[in-house]
Amino acid sequence: MRVGVAGLGVIGRAVCRALDEGIAGLRLAGATARDREKAERFLESLRAPAPFLPFDALLAASELIVEASTQAHLAEIAPKTLAAGRDLVVLSAGGLLGRQDWVDLAAAHGCRILVPSAAIAGLDGVKGARVGTITSVTMETRKPPAGLAGAPWVVAQRIDLAAITTETLIFEGTAAEACRAFPANVNVVAALSLAGVGPERTRIKVFAAPEQPMNRHRITVEGEFGRLAVEIENVPSENPRTGKLSYLSTIALLRELGATLRVGT
């Protein structure tokens, strides 16, 4: 299967390297990004150099697209990808909220929208619990202040992240509200809401936590099955907004595509 990568940030580059090193049944068809010159330098550095392609050409050359960009870019490429009958791996999961039209488009063209677990764990348990009755899903996210810089909520509320010296709650609300307030920071809660009870019933608190260098997420789910609690301390990548587990789980998802033994829900 030919894979195209849209976006060459931390995740996109990691996915390209993994494909270049070898994933059974998959090969890198090419990639696209905003900075063409920088992207071409990276793609030429691979063991098997891949081409930089404008998105329409990338789509024509690929059977699966990995979106590793932004919610705004996802809004541009998702309809094209699904209308072409190509599977779409989505990292900017917040951009999927409220997009039943994309789900319908994928169904109409016989393709799939795939969302990795990214920087969190426990989605298999949440999906299992959803078969019964879930009464509550909550999440707490703690990130170093640098990992929250530039978020619309931070800018609108004029939060001085540099002045925060102890753990501070800066946001509380639904997953839907959080994905608008922090579109590049809390895609994990979008994935959690899609796996569980939806974006309006999933609650999140966001903390700026300068004392710890890691991105920390705690998920709590209660329902007829009992209680599930998962806590993750995720090492940030060179981009403080992105934990290393985000790209590792994306690579794992791609490996699963051709797996004959699949473990987990």
> Per-residue confidence of the chain (265 residues) as pLDDT tens digits?
999 999 999 999 999 999 999 999 999 999 999 999 999 999 999 999 999 999 999 999 999 999 999 999 999 999 999 999 999 999 999 999 999 999 999 999 999 999 999 889 999 999 999 999 999 999 999 999 999 999 999 999 999 999 999 999 999 999 999 999 999 889 999 999 999 999 999 999 999 999 988 899 999 999 999 999 999 998 877 776 777 889 999 999 999 998 888 888 7
How far apart, in whole angstroms, are the C-alpha atoms of residue 190 and residue 178? 9
Q: Which CATH class is domain 123-241?
A: alpha beta
Q: Which residues are catalytic?
A: 217
Question: How is residue 69 written in tokens?
Answer: 């960009």
Helices (H) and strands (E) in the chain, counts: 10, 10
Question: How is residue 56 written in tokens?
Answer: 């329409």
Q: State the CB neighbour count (10 A cutoff) for residue 89.
A: 23
Q: Largest Cα–Cα distance in the chain?
A: 54
Query: Taking the model in full, what pTM does it have?
Result: 0.93
Residues of the chain with CATH 3.40.50.720: 2-119+246-257
Residues of the chain with CATH 3.30.360.10: 123-241
Query: CATH: 3.40.50.720, 3.30.390.50, 3.30.420.40, 3.30.300.30. Which one for 2-119+246-257?
Result: 3.40.50.720
